[in-house]
Chain A
Amino acid sequence: MKPVFYEIERSLTSKFSIVMIVAIIGLSALISYEGGALSSARSVRGGGVSEVSGYYTNGNNLTLISYFYDINGNPDKVRVNASLNNTLYPGSEISAGLYEFQIPIQSPVSIINLNYSYNQFGFTSSNMAAVTVNTATQNSSGLSIVPGILESSNSSNLGFLLFYVGAKGNHTSPPINVYVGPISGEKFNISSFIANYTWKNQYSNFTYLTIFPNLGAAAIGKSYAVLVDSNTSSTQHIYKPIGPLSTFTPYTASAIESSFFSTEGSLLILFIPLLAVFMAYFTYGKDRVTGVLESVIKRPITKGEAIRSRFLANSVVVSASIVVAIVVSDLISYRYFHVYMPFSFMLYVSWAYSIVGISFVAISYFFSHLLKSQGALLGSLIGIFMVFSLFWSVIFDVLVSVFSIPSGTSTYVTFQVAFNYASPAGYSSLVQLYITHTLGGFASFSGGSQSINPLAYGVTPILLLISGILWVAVPFIIAHQLAVKRD
């Protein structure tokens, strides 16, 4: 077995590491889930499952057809029963999202309850809908229009769903014209509407169909209606008001990036140093001060190789935890926002938090060679974590108060950038500043929404690279030299 694999396995499988890694990945996942589930962005594929139903009759037999769909109009799988007069009628799925019920009816007007449940992100949700059927006027429901369907990538919320159930079980629509145009007031004049429509299209042979007319920015703030007529007869009209239209900006990669720093970033900046410090203690520092490392050093290996090998193992585990947490978070986020983090962004943040973690590993190695007792070492490492990671923002706040530096000023930002450079935990904030032009992280800038030019404050790619390398290399090289040159 290659010794470094054993060391990676050991770094990964110590109880503390397992707890921390599970916490990092699990909490990142939960934060993404929460962010997606609670987001008010209209592109979010949240919400539940809705239904639209139609019917046709054959004597006293009613066939109810229900289409179950998500907020984007896509079919959803459900478990469903219909009930009428306390009698249950199981539904059979005839195609994706479409369920059929055979129900004997006694009277021309019936209210049929649909009880359905569905799985959403691993949880089962239940819902109920009441469908009123009036067979006295029509022996089939024909065309239904459902407004409020959202298209995730469109710039409009003017989506709607057409659903057709014809007589004798004919589930395909005849040719129709669909008009969309502005309306004002409650009066609706068909001929006027048709004369002034802004969007039209023809459709046929569908059971359900989602339509997202692109009306452009000119339609913002106006109410619209959709009107459908048969393109073979001028007598069949059906209309439904939709809108008003409001243009929205789809959830963008930029929004994902900002969101990442304010949510998962806050988590990582707390847990990664904690993982790094304790992993370094349990797999190197403790072994060194208790003499366990001697059982390795006596092998055909130099002291330098011994420390490098463990440092590499710790670094791999810290970085892998970060990458997995970010990827899991991104996948969950995509489930809601339909936008992946840009690959370059993933690289940047993986690099940034890896630098943070590996810096803390390196500092822990350095202290492992300064101190000779377990207690002193553990206490020092906890102190390092608390000062650099937990209380750095408090120290910053105290200092800006002492020096009376007003928040939001250039001096304040300069001071904050300098402070971030002075702590390994501040590195991610610098990368955030470089990417999003806002400062955040452990020492959040009170004017966080204000755009800051990173270059003006010395946050350049070269300086970030040098700073990151120095935070890792300096403590590790000193630790390495102490390991090689001292007993």
Chain B
Amino acid sequence: MITIENLTKIYSPKEGPAVDDFSLEIKNGEILGFVGLNGAGKSTTIRISAGITLPTSGDVYINGKSITKEKIEASRNVGWVPEIPNYEMNAKPIPLMKYFAGYYGLPNDQEEKNIRELLTEVGLWEYRDKKLRTYSQGMKKRFSLAESLIGDPDNLMFDETLNGLDPEGVQFVRQLIVDQKKKGKAILLSSHILSEIEAVSDRIAIIHHGKLVKILDRAELNALGREKIVMEIDNFDERALGLISKYGEVKETGNDIVLTSLKIEKKNYPEIMSTLVPLGYKVRKFEPSGESLEEFFFNIIGDN
């Protein structure tokens, strides 16, 4: 379990806090999607949780151990997969993983067994004799996944890990994340690919300007967001705009008129048609639908 408590990080007093009194809990056996714009504070939160960056105040607890005060015990139970894998590029995977494994105090035979299994699992075993500098970006990410699991940590954090992966890579990482969840691990998944987040997350935390804006649980995700109606109306004019504005916010997108923030109940949608058609407006399209996570995200970010 990862518990983030009142975390604040100020890089420079001249700028605002990168993370501002942020609290969050990722439970065992849960995937928590972590979304926010660039600079929202996602990576800072993850880097602090991984023990890389020091918080200005607050703390992160990994299985109850403080990452700042009990770093060794805390780090033993957290794996971090960064967005850009960054290793000693002249190294070969096995010696480097043995070096990393050395920090977890594994017996030699266990160490070798783990390394073989992990490299096989991520599909790099046949490339084990090649230096990391010869690996493609995707292979480096796979290596990053493998080395993050070397100590079999209870908690995992993926920071934009899906970026730059081909569809097969995305599918592979998604499956790996789901498999780790099934083992009862707490997983923090940060990504810009909101559809992936939506697909695998049990909850989603939205961060903006360093603050936690919203946490969506699975039920909310399933019935995500506010309803909208997409219409196509011939001869749409100011009068028509005035007529439908009383039902919600009107946005024109190409030929489409999108009605959001609806002020009318679903059962009364035909009333909109009844208002327009008698006045000679031809409604070619009338499509009520739910809001996507992306739309919801931008709406809520906009609200903040």
Contacts and interface: CB of A to CB of B under 8 A. Distances in A.
Interface of A: 1-3, 6-7, 10, 14, 287, 290-292, 294-303, 485-487
Tell me which of B50, B52, B54 has the highest count of chain A C-beta atoms within 10 A of its own C-beta: B52
A298 B50 contact: yes
Given A2-B102, A3-B102, 5 more contacts: A1-B102, A1-B111, A6-B102, A298-B51, A302-B71
A30 B30 CA distance: 66
A301 B103 contact: yes
Nearest to A15: B90
Contact of B100 (A14, A287, A299): A299
B175 interface: no
Contact of B88 (A287, A299, A487): A287
B36 interface: no
A294 B76 CA distance: 15
5 contacts: A295-B100, A298-B50, A298-B51, A300-B76, A301-B72
A20 to B, nearest CB: 17
B98 interface: yes
B293 to A, nearest CB: 30
Interface residues of B, number: 30
Contacts of B103: 3, 296, 299-301
Given A1-B101, A294-B82, A300 B88 contact: no
B39 to A, nearest CB: 17
Contacts of B147: 295
A303 B103 CA distance: 13
Interface in B88-125: 88, 90, 95, 98-104, 108, 111
Tell me which of B50, B54, B98, B99 has the highest count of chain A C-beta atoms within 10 A of its own C-beta: B99
Per CB-CB distance, the 5 closest pairs between chain A and chain B, nearest first, are A299-B103, A6-B99, A300-B76, A3-B102, A300-B75
Contacts of A287: 88
B98 A292 contact: no
Interface in B40-54: 50-54
B98 A6 contact: yes
A295 B50 contact: no
B87 interface: yes
Nearest to B74: A300
B86 A292 contact: yes
Contacts of A3: 99, 102-103
A302 B147 CA distance: 18
Contacts of A295: 86-87, 100, 147
Contacts of A2: 102
Nearest to B86: A291
A40 B54 CA distance: 65
A294 B78 CA distance: 14
B93 to A, nearest CB: 13
A463 B75 CA distance: 43
B151 interface: yes
A251 B158 CA distance: 69
A10 B75 contact: no
A295 B100 CA distance: 8
A290 to B, nearest CB: 7
Nearest to A13: B90
Nearest to B87: A295
A29 B257 CA distance: 86
A302 B90 CA distance: 25
Contact of A299 (B54, B75, B87): B75
B68 to A, nearest CB: 10
B53 to A, nearest CB: 5
B73 interface: yes
Interface string B52-68: 11100000000000000
B297 interface: no
A292 B54 CA distance: 17
A133 B120 CA distance: 83
Given A1-B98, A297-B51, A300-B103, A292 B76 contact: no
B98 A302 contact: no
Contacts of A303: 71
A314 to B, nearest CB: 15
B217 to A, nearest CB: 29
A392 to B, nearest CB: 33
B52 A294 contact: yes
A212 to B, nearest CB: 59
Contacts of B90: 14
Nearest to A2: B102
A303 B52 CA distance: 9
B58 to A, nearest CB: 15
A427 B111 CA distance: 44
Interface string B174-218: 000000000000000000000000000000000000000000000
A294 B86 contact: yes
